[in-house]
Amino acid sequence: MNSRPIRVLVVDADTGGGEALQAQLAQAEGIEIVGVARNRRAAVQKAETLRPDVLLIDLMLPGYRSIDIVRHLADTPQVHVLALAPADPPHDRIMLAAQAGALGYVCRDADLSEFEAAIEQIHHGEPWLPLNQTYEVLQDGAGELEVSAEERRNRLMQVVLGAIPLTGLVAAITAYLWRQYYGAIGVRVVDLGIDPTTRMTDVLVVFLTLIGILGPLAFVPSWVAAISDWIGKTPRLAAVAAKAQRLRLGQLLVARIVFNRWVARILLGLLVLSITLLLNEVMPLIMVLFFGPAVGIILLASSLGMDDELPEILHLPHLAPERVLGLLGIVIIAFLLALGAEVLIVGPDLRVDGLHGVLAPKVLGITAHPVMLFDLDENEEPLGALYLGGNADLYVLYDPCEAVVRLVPVGSSRVEFVDQVTCPSP
């Protein structure tokens, strides 16, 4: 035992049991009971005032208050927490205590020698887990893990289904912006023969494209760790890496840059981003139909703690689902605000070669193709304009030269696509 006694603060709501425990520990050599607390407030105050070496805390305080105390005091460097469990330890409280920072637990009916051994080992910062009781705790907890996995699958489905009303809201907003965008140049959407709500498809395509391009960047830390482990387990590569770590460029140790974790993540991130951008450029249909949805499902599954059902190379640090949904909500709101600002403040930018813009043309699915309009009766000269759309009866055209909208009957005209509209000289 240590020459200096181990100072123990007992937190026990059971007055009779606490006194019995205190009397039992008073017989232990090398252990000093510096105080007893009955509730959360007293426990925190005495722990901060008395600064004990070990906090022996009753796990059965009402309302999981014992877990709150453990979580509050576990970060204090000089205090190590030993949980006090009943003879039949509840697995949920044992697991929550360990998660909160307790180094172990001892049952209330343990003999004095076990209390002494547990307190001494916890005092040295080493875990203490009674073998028989811990085996039973793991057995009891295993059933809940199976249920928990099924619940996570159900939560994944609920999140997906919960996104359906969100898509309806986004569709309504984009339909409104779509009407406002065309209304700025005096075009009625009814003349275009397109239902604005169908533009939700274009919004989804943009989101899936962004997820497919940027989503893989979230896996870069896991990939860097996997590559590092692979190099370490391959003798030839490990030997090359060991030699490379000794290389110097003048006084600079090259390994500090080449083998730096953040440098590796940045370089791999740039490589991944280049590949996804190239994939989007070469095979945009694959990006939208397969790659984007696959990355989105993997990210969502990781956020719901379903990593066990994914390959190790796709594992991510666990994120609380509410944080993921909150972040997604912020991204969607920011996206819609930027789109609304472009539509309502900037408005459509129609030029002789078509429609220009940042978000609106792609997100709202608006096109303006340069065309030449020929009168089949040859009563009018050919007209250069931007084709916006139309219905069974009318072509809807925008003349960028005179900044006017023209509605031309379909039956009397022929449209030919060109590179750009040529305005007559003034």
For residue 404, give every residue at least 6 positions away whose Cβ sits within 8 Å of its Cβ, in sequence order, or none: 398
Q: What is the DSSP track for 20-44?
A: HHHHHHHTSTTEEEEEEE-SHHHHH
pLDDT at 284: 84
- pLDDT tens, position by position, 155-204: 555 555 555 566 667 777 777 888 888 888 888 777 776 665 566 666 77
Buried b (16+ CB within 10 A) or exposed e, 95-132: ebbbebbbbbbbbbebeeeebbebbbbbbeeeebebee
User: What span, in angstroms and rounded, lies between the C-alpha atoms of 362 and 202?
Assistant: 7
**Which residue ranges make up each domain of the chain?**
6-129, 145-341, 354-417
Cβ neighbours, 10 Å, residue 143: 10
Q: Which two tokens stand for residue 25?
A: 């520990």
> HEC states along 93-138?
HHHHHHHHCCCEEEECCCCHHHHHHHHHHHHCCCCECCHHHHHHHH
Distance CA 69, CA 42 (A): 10
Query: Which CATH code, of 3.30.1460, 1.10.287, 2.30.30, 1.10.1660, is assigned to 354-417?
Result: 2.30.30
Question: Mean pLDDT, the chain, as a whole number?
Answer: 78
Residue 229 has pLDDT above 80, yes or no: no
Q: Is the pLDDT of residue 38 over 60?
A: yes
- pLDDT, residue 274, reads 92
CATH T-level fold of 6-129: Rossmann fold (3.40.50)
Number of C-alpha atoms within 13 angstroms, CB side, residue 159?
22
Lowest mean pLDDT among 77-81, 291-295, 324-328: 324-328
CA 95, 97, 103, 109 torsion: positive or negative? negative
- With 0-12 / 13-18 / 19 or more C-beta atoms within 10 angstroms meaning exposed / middle / buried, residue 338 is middle
What's the chain's length in residues? 426
Return the DSSP state at 365. Answer: T
Rounded mean pLDDT of 392-405?
86
Residue 1 confidence (pLDDT): 44
Other CB atoms within 10 A of residue 215 CB = 19
Identify whether the C-beta of residue 54 lies closer than 8 Å to the C-beta of residue 6.
yes
pLDDT confidence of residue 212 = 85
Structure-token pair, residue 17: 């049991």
- Identity (one letter) of the amino acid at 328? L
Identify which of 37-46, 266-275, 354-363 has the greatest average pLDDT.
Answer: 266-275
Q: What is the rounded distance in angstroms from the CA atom of residue 85 to the CA atom of residue 119? A: 14
Predicted TM-score (pTM) of this structure: 0.46
Q: Taking phi first (over 0 means left), then psi (-120 to 50 degrees means alpha), and beta for anything else, what does residue 171 get?
A: alpha
pLDDT in tens, 85-132: 888 888 888 888 888 889 989 988 888 999 999 999 999 889 998 888
Collect all residues with Cβ–Cβ distance below 8 Å to 378 and sequence separation of at least 6. Answer: none
What value, to the nearest 5°, has the Cα angle with vertex 255 and ends 252 and 261?
A: 125
Tell me which residue of 45, 128, 52, 118 sits closest to 94, measured CA to CA. 128
Please tell me whether residue 349 adopts helix, strand or coil conformation: strand
Cα distance between residue 69 and residue 181, in whole Å = 57
pLDDT higher than threshold 80 for residue 45: yes
Q: Residue 194 corresponds to which amino acid? A: I
Domain 6-129 and domain 354-417, same fold? Reply is no
Using CA atoms, how far apart are residues 360 and 338, in angstroms rounded to an integer? 9
Question: For the residues 349-375, what does the mean pLDDT come to?
Answer: 85
